[in-house]
Amino acid sequence: MTILPTLPAELKAALDARLQGLSRTDAAARAARISETYRGGGSSVTIRNQADALAYALARMPATYAASAASLNAIAEIRPDFAPQSLLDIGAGPGTATWAAAETWSMLQDFTLLDANAALRDLALDLARASTRLCEIGYRHGDARAQLARAEPADLVIASYLIGELDAAEQQMLAELMWSKTRDTLLVVEPGTPAGYARIIELRAQLIASGAHVAAPCPHDGACPLRQPDWCHFAQRLPRSQAHRQIKGAELPFEDEKFSYVALTRTPVAQRDARVLAQPTVGKVEVTAKLCAADGVTTARVPRRDKEAYARARRWRWGDGVV
Ligand SMILES: C[S@@+](CC[C@H](N)C(=O)[O-])C[C@H]1O[C@@H](n2cnc3c(N)ncnc32)[C@H](O)[C@@H]1O
């Protein structure tokens, strides 16, 4: 089923409970230091203890959850029959993508998470105890490649906001290994920056050469038709709670998380719809939308006089798959 971009109630309650007695000023300072490191091209190694892990989760988990949820929704929409039983969440951190996948597929029952960061692993296990579905997750601590080599293959493999923390050679090796452990579908999500998109597009080309098919967002397995300075990315709006705003030092009651992703499958999906690549413009005369179609990027113009098509196109949103 398609899911909301907001944290599930059990997860939100578990995070809120950990906020009790926590200094928001201290958490905000920790979150700011961690984001600063990310912006400077660093990684999550600066998350060293429970207070850091919690600050990171409070500041970033709502947004990475929203990006995972939107990508998983795209898979669920294009493959309504997909019914994964097992999940491997690589670079799982606090377990964000696992929570989103559990929400999407009620039949998922075998969850394995891998991560090198002990503080995030401890937080993930602590949060998972609050969930009826996730209280028995397996969490392997250590380097992704070494841990993955020992893991059983899974129906669904996810790497959410992970590969940007690896060097190019490591990304290539991990991509091949993740694919070898994928029984059905591999989802890779990255920040929606030109650099995040470039990593996705490299991994996509590498794994298509190894026999993968693209389920989403692309409606084809060919080379990406976008040319610099354009890049394929999407945006998911999510609400910010009061605590979330305080920890981020933000004013607005919502944020838009930009992300890039690719979902790769072992067998080609039956029908791949065109993808809306930017928020369409709804005018009095027509709806104009930038679409990625099987034969390249086009601008669709749906005139108002074509009532049914216009009414449908008015509902198109950036990121939708449309016929
Ligand atoms: C930005 S966090 C993303 C966490 C989570 N997947 C999410 O979407 O919220 C990146 C995670 O990748 C993990 N990571 C980075 N390099 C790793 C490696 N070589 N092996 C295992 N985990 C790694 C970090 O410890 C961190 O938890």
Closest atom of ligand 1 relative to the 47 alpha carbon: 25
Ligand 1: nearest atom to the Cα of 93: 27
Locate the ligand 1 atom nearest the alpha carbon of residue 61 and give its number.
9
Question: Which positions ≥6 away from 261 have C-beta within 8 Å?
Answer: 67, 71, 74, 187, 188, 189, 190, 200, 216, 217, 234
Residues with CB under 6 A from ligand 1: 43-44, 61, 64, 91-93, 96-97, 115-117, 120, 143-144, 160-162, 165-166
Question: How many whole angstroms separate alpha carbon 199 and alpha carbon 29?
Answer: 30
For ligand 1, atom 4, the nearest C-alpha belongs to 93
- Long-range contacts (CB closer than 8 Å, 24 or more residues apart) made by 251-254: none
Lowest-confidence region among 35-44, 132-141, 212-221, 308-317 = 35-44
Residues present in the chain in total: 323
Whether pLDDT at 39 is above 80: no
**Cα(166) to centroid of ligand 1, in Å?**
9
Ligand 1 centroid – CA 292 distance (Å): 30
For 276-322, how does the pLDDT look when each residue is reduced to its tens digit (9 = 90+)? 999 999 999 999 999 999 999 999 999 999 999 999 999 999 999 99
Stretch 147-155: mean pLDDT: 97
pLDDT tens, residue by residue, 64-86: 999 999 999 999 999 999 999 99
CB 111 within 8 A of CB 102: yes
List the structure tokens of 171: 């990304």
Q: 296 vs 82, 197, 221, 238, 278, CA distance in Å?
A: 27, 18, 11, 30, 15
Whole-number mean pLDDT of the chain? 95
Position 256 confidence tier, pLDDT thresholds 50, 70, 90: very high
Integer CA distances (angstroms), 93 to 111, 138, 142, 269, in order: 14, 13, 12, 30
State the pLDDT at residue 105. 98
Q: What is the rounded average pLDDT of the residues 210-237?
A: 97
Q: How far is the CA of 113 from the centre of ligand 1 (A)?
A: 10
- Strand, coil or helix: 150: helix
Ligand 1 atom nearest the C-alpha of 117 is 25
Q: How many A from CA of 23 to the centre of ligand 1?
A: 25
* Ligand 1 pocket, mutate which of 162, 178, 259, 260 (most atoms under 8 A from CB): 162
Residue-level pLDDT at 40: 72
pLDDT for the residue numbered 253: 94
Interhelix angle for 118-128 vs 9-19, to 10°? 120
Instruction: Indicate yes or no: pTM above 0.75.
Output: yes
pLDDT tens-digit series, residues 9-32: 999 999 999 988 888 898 889 988
Q: What is the pLDDT of residue 7?
A: 97
Residue closest via CA to ligand 1's atom 11 equals 91
Ligand 1 center from residue 73 Cα (angstroms): 22
pLDDT at residue number 151: 97
pLDDT of residue 43: 77
Q: How confident is the model at residue 173 (pLDDT cuts 50, 70, 90)?
A: very high
| Residue 258 CA, ligand 1 centroid: distance in Å | 18
The predicted model gives 238-244 an average pLDDT of 91
State in Å: Cα 77 to ligand 1 middle: 27
Residue with tokens 């933000």: 250
Q: Residue written as tokens 């995972």? A: 68
